[in-house]
């Protein structure tokens, strides 16, 4: 881990960016948090933003060897650290 960990919101990333999931924003429902965890978006997981749809929604990411598409509203609940 870097000396200066910069926590940013997932929605600030663009195609080609890589990062590590840090946490989920406070205030998100427990059911929604469990949904993200079940999809493999757990703290400490590395990912790469593959592409964003032309109108910005959804966003495709790869993690753990597979692809996941997230709506921007879902992605806004994830705090990450950009690694590239």
Is the pLDDT at 17 greater than 70? The verdict is: yes
**Structural domain count, the chain:** 1
Residues forming beta bridges with residue 51, ordered by sequence position: 60
- Does some domain include residue 1? no
Percent of the chain surpassing pLDDT 70: 92
d(Cα 32, Cα 47) in Å, to the nearest integer? Answer: 20
Alpha helices in 39-78 (DSSP H): 72-75
Residue 2: inside a domain: no
Predicted local distance difference test score (pLDDT) of residue 73 = 81
Domain hosting residue 13, numbered range = 8-82
Dump pLDDT digits (tens) for 31-65: 888 888 888 889 999 999 999 888 878 999 999 99
Q: What φ, ψ does residue 10 adopt, rounded to 5°?
A: -55, -35
CATH number for 32: 2.30.30.90
């Amino acid at each position: 881990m870097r000396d200066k960990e910069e926590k940013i919101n997932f929605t600030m990333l663009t195609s080609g960016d890589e990062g590590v999931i840090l946490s989920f924003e406070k205030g998100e429902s427990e059911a929604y948090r469990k949904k993200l965890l079940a999809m493999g978006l757990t703290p400490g997981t590395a990912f790469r933003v593959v592409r964003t749809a032309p109108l910005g929604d959804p966003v495709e990411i790869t993690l753990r060897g597979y692809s996941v598409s997230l709506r921007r509203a879902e992605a806004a609940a994830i705090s990450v650290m950009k690694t590239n």
